[in-house]
């Protein structure tokens, strides 16, 4: 905190919000000083997004009856009822999903709807509506803003050609370019970024704070909080559990506050005994044409009962392998499962060979949003194994009771937060959606389970449930697991062997206890001296 004596730039006093009878936020208070970096963290469904929607005046709040409590900006009470108003009051927001026009340049996006104008002959005659856009000024001003942020970036580059991390920078630059921005809200800014990009974003956040702008950082990643934030507020079940200076709290304590129970990420038991020598799956010269995750010839031999990790940097092809095995993208080469050759490019055959897949692209490929929890869990088994049906002569009817019972069992086992088995999966929070995805894959009772990025964008509690279930299913039922993840810590904790992928090829297969340096070297594509 730089300036404790001044009035807080933003105060939230006893703010609450109910959707119908359901209080998702109650009695939350916090003060944010100019230049402060205030992290807000909490599990999915803790009320973070709702709080941000209130601050930014999103229509969803107004249309469901507004909020209770007070919001003070520079010590004056304000009722924010629309995003325009929030912007006028100096609140900027960078959304989790980028709000950029892909076909415009960075500069045009930064100045969008605030373009500097030039008078022309037409505008002198017909009024200011016919003024011309001053493109030269757009260039110079937005480049200036980018430089001010300390980003190496050209304002003239087209948004759609940029890597994800740079889109984030463009969003931040746009908010900073608004002269009166006093508070900047960043919603999960590092969730979709690679480590190095995340590092850059955090540097920028630091930089903003030095410029005197208060930053509200909503994040799942506790290490980010530790790295940049001054203060952290932990929300749980819509309540402010604790607001504390970051230097006074450890990462473990933050995680504990978030889930409200003792958290032990290392609880996964070590494997007892040796694996049998049987081979579960082999690939020969596997080539997968997955956009952005090209696989160029991978040979694998995966033993029965092991958890085989696949790691590597984003875009190097690690998630392509599992997608190729499932036949989701055009694939060439040879795959055999328990000695039998697998027909390529056919998800149906892959599932019939008792493979099951939890996709890395949860939103697009993971589930059917309008179908209920029960139907989502049962659907793959219905299609593949004809389960959950009652027979009436020629007719088959969905066995609603069995679907419901299975859903209830899984809701219990995975502690899925929901109103019941009939709730559409699209309305669940990310972590709970992921639990449904895993449950539905396990319902197929696979011999080989492929999980890709199972913990991406979900909170600590859900992460634990998911990882524990995977290891449990492996230890108890002997299911072979192919575990793809970009988080090294997770891979090391879960896997028996870890293959590091670079440029679509396997660089090295490593033991989980190899050193960080060795992993780093492998990820950068350099093979260790034999």
Partner 1 sequence: MSVVRRKIREFGMPRIIIIAFILLILVGALLEGQDMATLISDSLVRVGQNMLMALAMLPTILVGAGLNMGIAIGIVSGILGGLISVELGLVGWGGLMFGILLAICAGTVGGFIYSLLLNRVRGSEMLIGNYLGSTVVYLMCMFWFAAPFKNPTIIWPMGGKGVRTTIPVSDFFEKVLNRFLMFKIGRVTIPTGLFLFVFLVCFLVYLFTKSRTGMILRTVGNNPSYAAMSGIHINKARIIGITLSTVLAAIGINVYAQSYGFYQTYEGPLTMAFTPMAAILLGGATMKNVKIRHAVIGTFLIQTLLTTALPVCNQLFPESNLSEVFRIIISNGIILYALTQAGGDRR
Query: Site residues (CB under 8 A) for partner 1?
Result: 20-21, 59, 63, 326, 328, 346-352, 357, 359, 364-371, 375, 379-380, 382-384, 386, 389, 395-398, 400
Query: Toward partner 1, which CB reaches closer, 112 or 398?
Result: 398
What span, in angstroms and rounded, lies between the C-alpha atoms of 174 and 503? Answer: 34
Residue from 43, 4, 54 nearest 234 by CA = 43
| Nearest approach, Cβ of residue 31 and partner 1 (Å) | 33
What span, in angstroms and rounded, lies between the C-alpha atoms of 216 and 20? Answer: 28
Query: Toward partner 1, which CB reaches closer, 47 or 366?
Result: 366
What span, in angstroms and rounded, lies between the C-alpha atoms of 491 and 27? Answer: 39
| Nearest approach, Cβ of residue 515 and partner 1 (Å) | 37
| Nearest approach, Cβ of residue 426 and partner 1 (Å) | 9
Residue 315, CB-side half-sphere exposure with 13 Å CA sphere: 8
Which residues, other chains included, contact 348 with Cβ-Cβ below 8 Å and sequence gap of 6+?
327, 384
| Nearest approach, Cβ of residue 499 and partner 1 (Å) | 23
Question: Which residue spans within 134-274 are E strands per DSSP?
Answer: 183-187, 214-218, 231-236, 239-245
Query: Toward partner 1, which CB reaches closer, 99 or 368?
Result: 368
Query: Toward partner 1, which CB reaches closer, 21 or 97?
Result: 21
Query: Toward partner 1, which CB reaches closer, 308 or 388?
Result: 388
Which residues, other chains included, contact 270 with Cβ-Cβ below 8 Å and sequence gap of 6+?
none
Per DSSP, the residues of 477-522 read H--EEEEE-S-HHHHHHH-SEEEEEETTEEEEEE-TTS-HHHHHHH
| Nearest approach, Cβ of residue 63 and partner 1 (Å) | 5
- The answer to whether residues 153 and 169 touch, using CB atoms and an 8 Å cutoff, is yes
What span, in angstroms and rounded, lies between the C-alpha atoms of 189 and 257? Answer: 22
| Nearest approach, Cβ of residue 495 and partner 1 (Å) | 24
Query: Toward partner 1, which CB reaches closer, 166 or 357?
Result: 357
| Nearest approach, Cβ of residue 23 and partner 1 (Å) | 14
What span, in angstroms and rounded, lies between the C-alpha atoms of 12 and 14? Answer: 7
Query: Toward partner 1, which CB reaches closer, 268 or 439?
Result: 439
Residue from 464, 460, 437, 246 nearest 358 by CA = 437
Residue from 34, 159, 212, 174 nearest 94 by CA = 174
What span, in angstroms and rounded, lies between the C-alpha atoms of 297 and 333? Answer: 8
| Nearest approach, Cβ of residue 56 and partner 1 (Å) | 17
Query: Toward partner 1, which CB reaches closer, 228 or 428?
Result: 428
Task: Work out whether the CA dihedral 391, 392, 397, 402 comes out positive or negative.
Answer: negative
| Nearest approach, Cβ of residue 418 and partner 1 (Å) | 18
- The answer to whether residues 368 and 425 touch, using CB atoms and an 8 Å cutoff, is yes
What span, in angstroms and rounded, lies between the C-alpha atoms of 221 and 409? Answer: 31
| Nearest approach, Cβ of residue 490 and partner 1 (Å) | 23
Query: Toward partner 1, which CB reaches closer, 81 or 415?
Result: 81
In terms of DSSP H, where are the helices of 11-150?
48-55, 59-62, 83-88, 106-110, 121-126, 135-149
Residue from 55, 56, 49 nearest 19 by CA = 49
| Nearest approach, Cβ of residue 215 and partner 1 (Å) | 31
Element (DSSP H or E) covering residue 311: strand 307-312
What span, in angstroms and rounded, lies between the C-alpha atoms of 41 and 439? Answer: 27
Query: Toward partner 1, which CB reaches closer, 134 or 399?
Result: 399
Query: Toward partner 1, which CB reaches closer, 210 or 392?
Result: 392
Query: Toward partner 1, which CB reaches closer, 328 or 410?
Result: 328
| Nearest approach, Cβ of residue 7 and partner 1 (Å) | 36
| Nearest approach, Cβ of residue 353 and partner 1 (Å) | 11
Which residues, other chains included, contact 147 with Cβ-Cβ below 8 Å and sequence gap of 6+?
none
According to DSSP, residue 329 is labeled S
Which residues, other chains included, contact 520 with Cβ-Cβ below 8 Å and sequence gap of 6+?
none
Query: Toward partner 1, which CB reaches closer, 51 or 450?
Result: 450
> DSSP 3-state assignment of 332?
strand
């Amino acid at each position: 905190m730089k300036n404790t004596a001044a009035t807080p730039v933003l105060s939230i006093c006893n703010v609450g919000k109910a959707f119908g009878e359901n209080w998702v936020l109650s009695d939350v208070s916090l003060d944010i000083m100019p230049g402060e970096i205030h992290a807000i963290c909490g599990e999915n469904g803790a009320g973070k997004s709702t709080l941000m929607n209130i601050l930014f005046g999103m229509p969803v709040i107004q249309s469901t009856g507004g909020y209770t409590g007070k919001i003070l900006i520079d010590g004056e009470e304000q009722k924010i009822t629309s995003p325009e108003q929030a912007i006028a009051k100096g609140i900027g927001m960078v959304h989790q999903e980028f709000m950029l026009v892909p076909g415009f340049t960075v500069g045009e996006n930064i100045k969008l709807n605030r373009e500097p104008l030039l008078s022309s002959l037409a505008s002198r005659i017909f009024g200011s509506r016919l003024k011309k856009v001053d493109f030269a000024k757009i260039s110079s001003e937005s480049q200036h803003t980018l430089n001010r942020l300390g980003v190496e970036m050209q304002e003239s580059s087209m948004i759609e050609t940029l890597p994800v991390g740079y889109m984030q920078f463009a969003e931040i630059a746009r908010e900073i370019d608004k002269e009166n921005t006093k508070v900047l809200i960043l919603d999960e800014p590092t969730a979709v970024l690679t480590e190095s990009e995340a590092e850059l974003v955090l540097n920028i956040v630091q930089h903003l704070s030095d410029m005197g702008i208060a930053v509200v950082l909503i994040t799942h990643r506790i290490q980010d909080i530790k790295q940049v934030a001054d203060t952290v507020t932990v929300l749980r079940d819509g309540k402010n559990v604790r607001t504390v200076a970051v230097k006074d709290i450890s990462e473990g304590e933050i995680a504990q506050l978030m889930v409200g129970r003792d958290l032990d990420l290392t609880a996964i038991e070590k494997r007892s005994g040796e694996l049998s020598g049987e081979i579960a799956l082999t690939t020969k010269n596997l080539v997968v044409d997955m956009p952005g995750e090209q696989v160029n010839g991978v040979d694998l031999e995966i033993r029965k009962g092991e958890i085989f990790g696949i790691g590597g940097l984003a875009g190097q092809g690690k998630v392509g392998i599992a997608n190729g095995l499932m036949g989701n993208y055009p694939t060439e080469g040879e795959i055999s499962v328990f000695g039998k050759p697998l027909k390529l490019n056919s998800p149906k055959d892959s599932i019939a060979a008792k493979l099951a897949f939890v996709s890395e692209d949860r939103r697009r490929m993971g589930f059917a949003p309008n179908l209920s929890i029960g139907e989502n869990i049962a659907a793959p088994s219905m299609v593949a194994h004809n389960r959950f049906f009652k027979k009436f002569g020629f007719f088959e009817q969905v066995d609603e009771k069995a679907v419901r019972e299975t859903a209830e069992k899984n809701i219990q086992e995975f502690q899925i937060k929901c109103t019941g088995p009939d709730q559409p999966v699209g309305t669940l929070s990310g972590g709970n959606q992921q639990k449904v995805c895993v449950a539905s894959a396990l319902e197929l009772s696979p011999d080989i389970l492929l999980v890709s990025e199972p913990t991406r964008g979900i909170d600590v509690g859900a992460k634990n449930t998911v990882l524990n279930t995977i290891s449990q299913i492996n230890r108890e039922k002997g299911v072979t697991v192919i575990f793809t993840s970009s988080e090294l810590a997770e891979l090391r904790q879960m896997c028996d062997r870890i293959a590091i992928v670079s440029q679509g090829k396997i660089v090295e297969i490593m033991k989980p206890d190899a050193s960080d340096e060795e992993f780093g070297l492998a990820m950068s594509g350099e093979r260790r001296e034999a």
